[in-house]
Chains A and B, each alone.
Chain A
Amino acid sequence: MTKPVPKQALSSASSSTAAKPRLTTSAMIASIASEGQRTQAAPFGTALVELAKTRPDIIGMTADLGKYTDLHLFGQAYPDRYYQMGMAEQLLFGAASGLAAEGFVPFATTYAVFATRRAYDFIHQTIAEEDRNVKIVCALPGLTSGYGPSHQAAEDLALMRAMPNMTVIDPCDACEIGQVVPAMAAHQGPVYMRLLRGQVPLVLDEYHYTFELGKAKVIRGGRDVLFISTGLMTMRALEAAKQLENDKIDVAVLHVPTIKPLDTETILREAQKTGRMVVVAENHTIVGGLGEAVARHLMLNGVAATFRHIGLPDAFLAAGALPTLHDRYGISTQALVDQIKKWQD
């Protein structure tokens, strides 16, 4: 793992040596879509605008990130149901709790780091503990920003899972986000959703996928490896599975969009099928996410599968271009392929 040279160690001479490294940009407004991938624009904003036609109780709120969470579409469609709270995340969630107490259903958006870290206590006390019907929708989940630790929500699932009453959803693509929006509105109680914004990859429609809150779904079967994955890692697992066909490695993918409550029945059923290596893959630190949750249930139920875990290291991650970082930290498609081949050797 490359780390920047500590600042103490540098002198003005340091950068004039040897060949210049090829510069790669750290694209702030990065789309996680790979080149040539099918995408759909702003699936969250679009779905919320549609849903709000028949749900006058839905309110949109943001902390100066409407444009960056696709909620501006809702603001344009329903200006009188849209509250700009300024860049004040604690206020955002406290006020969302208040609106929910009065019977409205606020969809409150910001970046994952600023909800789960800056406003944790406000969400814990005013939303989760009071079981308020607030929908927390957060862009830049896990490692989806090249901006360094301030914008990388490597631990958001761990934090939100640890909150009683909270439902936690990590959708894979645009197809799924479009279905999650009405489902979370229909659910009574607080929900945290990881948001993919902008041009969002479209993958699961090919598999005739339907989202059901609290359900894990087998997306494809396979005899050698069982990926248990969530969020955008399901997309990566499916791509890896296709590539691994060339190496005669037969890979199944179980997609787990609802992290809490966890569909332990399906997970146990699939993990129990003999002869398969179980590989949990998540866009999240290895601490406290899907991997540890699955491992716990396997242990409790005496399922002795060969268990592997792909996730982000327990470290402050680097700034840089997302593709570079996904390779470096082992969550790109290529990294999955290489890792599985090694483990299957």
Chain B
Amino acid sequence: MSNLKGHNRDLAERAYRVRRNAVLMGEVQGQGYIAQALDIADVLTVAYFHAMNYRPEDPEWEGRDRFLLSNGHYAIALYAALIEAGIIPADELESYGSDDSRLPMSGMASYTPGMEMSGGSLGVGMSIAVGMALGLKRKHSSSRVYILFSDGELDEGAVWEAFMSAAHYKLDNLIAIVDVNNQQADGPSTQVMAFEPLVQKLEAFGWFVQRIDGNDLDAVVGAFDAAKDSHEAKPRIIIADTLMGKGVPFLEAREKNHFIRVDPHEWQLALAALEEGRQS
């Protein structure tokens, strides 16, 4: 990452801060989806600080790009980005997952500014994305629909129904990102249900497909740019291969698990590890 230049260098600092927010929230609960938050931080950083149009002071601004979090348990990651974006006040971070917090562990539209859908039941976001993209087209809006979902969601049939319909309706205003961290509840995703070869499958479904290292900021920026700039009358998808725990070496090395516990003393170590990886 040390050869990043200019804007992408700023993005690296943003990504550091997003990860830091996520670790601070993780510490509130002592457990959770922290490894996922770290793996997807680079993608969210590029979405919120490079690709998307929005107004932090008016999260429901009609002209905004929509961002759907289909994998609601990644809420900790999105909150981290929304805090960095100024949509959620930073001092709410310590209420993560607590009673009557606006930041529940599973993302819900009725609780949190900037949260566009209620997640938790996986595999439903892509259908909403199709409807929103259709709706924006009907309104002649130039806003786009971004949707993040997880590799486990590829198991759900409804996701493939939506893939088909997005191509059928030539939804070129739809940009999907799938986090291929090769993990789901019962184990490595590829062992739970074989879904490769993903590029070929999605191309066959009529999508504009890119597959990148989702933890390489240059590559992520390039993929978002290409997805926006393409003139193909197709929905776009970025397949982001990511590393769980990215940025905190001892979490990267830890046995992969959907839901991890982190010992109380390890949170400080995690923050220190992030600080160490930060660009000077």
Q: A: which residues have CB within 8 A of B?
A: 2, 4-8, 10, 12, 14-16, 21, 23-26, 28-29, 62-68, 72, 84-88, 90-91, 113-114, 117-118, 146-151, 318-321, 324
Contact = CB atoms under 8 A, between A and B. Distances in A.
Contacts of B32: 28
A318 to B, nearest CB: 7
Interface string B79-107: 00000000001011011011111101110
Contact of A23 (B72, B95, B119, B185): B95
B184 interface: yes
B102 A4 contact: yes
B120 A7 contact: no
Contact of A114 (B102, B106, B121): B121
A149 B192 contact: no
Contact of B104 (A8, A63, A67, A148): A148
Interface in B1-59: 28-32, 59
A91 B123 CA distance: 14
B92 to A, nearest CB: 5
Contacts of B184: 64, 87
A86 B185 contact: no
Interface string B49-71: 00000000001100000000000
Question: Which of B99, B104, B108, B113 counts the most chain A CB atoms within 10 A?
Answer: B99
Nearest to B122: A87
A319 B106 contact: yes
15 contacts: A7-B102, A10-B113, A21-B99, A26-B105, A28-B32, A67-B185, A86-B193, A87-B122, A148-B106, A149-B118, A150-B121, A318-B99, A319-B104, A319-B111, A321-B98
Nearest to B91: A15
A7 to B, nearest CB: 5
A26 B99 CA distance: 7
| A interface SS class | loop
B112 interface: yes
Contacts of A68: 185
Contacts of B206: none
B110 interface: yes
A150 B106 contact: yes
Nearest to B115: A7
B259 A29 contact: yes
A21 B100 CA distance: 10
Contacts of A63: 155
A146 B32 CA distance: 13
Given A64-B184, A148-B120, A10 B102 contact: yes
A64 B89 contact: no
A65 B184 CA distance: 9
A304 B59 CA distance: 56
B120 A149 contact: yes
A76 B106 CA distance: 30
Contacts of A14: 89
A150 B155 contact: no
A201 B156 CA distance: 34
B11 to A, nearest CB: 24
Interface string B217-258: 000000000000000000000000000000000000000000
Given A25-B29, A321-B99, 10 more contacts: A4-B110, A7-B112, A26-B97, A26-B99, A28-B259, A64-B192, A68-B185, A90-B157, A151-B106, A319-B106
B29 A67 contact: no
A64 B186 contact: yes
B152 interface: yes
B179 interface: no
Contacts of B99: 21, 23-24, 26, 318, 320-321, 324
Given A85-B193, A87-B185, A147 B98 contact: no
A72 B185 CA distance: 12
Nearest to B92: A15
B223 to A, nearest CB: 26
B100 A12 contact: no
Contacts of B157: 88, 90-91
Contacts of B172: none
